[in-house]
């Protein structure tokens, strides 16, 4: 009987510890680099690009996208780096800033530039990519170590409790 009681107590002690350790696996760093497209649309109420100023990194794409506008618009870079073409009511034009294109790019909507329909894109140098695979492996290894370290004393304690209970049962 005492062995069973000791076992139950040991399991009760063990259960919350396991509960605390499990969430460690859920704290992996999120690496969401799938969405690197910045959309610039048109504020048709006051003839503005929205947003009129964006900051992106090299390798990222700016997409000029609007549809069903009352007036036709376009987006033309001051030095012709990009040009969405003739002013249109429906525009879906994307431009990707390649490596080495960091800088500041001013653009206008040609029909409405005088009305202040202008914008600016700031392109930052590409961030140096981290060695993704290596850091993942290191993270996993350290997590395994973290989980092994507290588990061993728990097993030792459980064995000690069971041993003591067995000894007492024999004495009785
Ligand atoms: Cu316009």
Query: What residues pack around ion ligand 1 (CB closer than 5 A)?
Result: 73, 109, 112, 117
Phi and psi torsions of 101, nearest 5°? -95, 20
Q: What end-to-end distance do the CA atoms of the chain give, in Å?
A: 11
Cα(110) to ligand 1 centroid in Å equals: 7
Query: Please, what's the b/e burial string for 122-161 (b: 16 or more CB within 10 A of its CB; e: otherwise)?
Result: ebeebeeeeeeeeeeeeeeeeeeeeeeeeeeeeeeebeeb
Query: What residues does 125 pair with on adjacent strands?
Result: none
pLDDT in tens, 101-124: 999 999 999 999 999 999 999 999
Q: What is the pTM of this model?
A: 0.56
What domains, with CATH codes, occur in the chain?
A: 37-124 (2.60.40.420)
pLDDT digits (tens, 9 = 90+) for 1-27: 555 555 544 444 444 444 444 444 343
- The rounded Å distance from CA 82 to ligand 1 centre is 16
């Amino acid at each position: 009987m005492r062995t069973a009681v000791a076992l139950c107590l040991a399991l009760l002690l063990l259960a919350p510890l396991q509960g605390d350790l499990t969430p460690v696996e859920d704290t992996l760093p999120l690496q969401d680099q799938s969405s690197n497209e910045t959309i610039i649309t048109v504020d048709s109420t006051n003839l503005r690009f929205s947003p009129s100023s964006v900051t992106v990194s090299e390798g990222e794409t700016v997409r000029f996208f609007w549809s069903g506008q009352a007036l036709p618009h376009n987006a033309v870079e001051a030095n012709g780096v990009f040009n969405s073409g003739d002013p249109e009511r429906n525009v879906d034009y994307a431009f990707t800033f390649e490596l080495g294109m960091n800088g500041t790019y001013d653009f206008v909507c040609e029909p409405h530039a005088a009305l202040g329909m202008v914008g600016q894109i700031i392109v930052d140098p590409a961030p140096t990519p981290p060695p993704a695979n290596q850091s993942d492996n290191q993270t996993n290894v350290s997590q395994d170590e973290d989980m092994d370290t507290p588990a061993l004393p728990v097993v030792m304690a459980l064995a000690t409790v069971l041993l003591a209970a067995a000894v007492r049962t024999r004495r009785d």
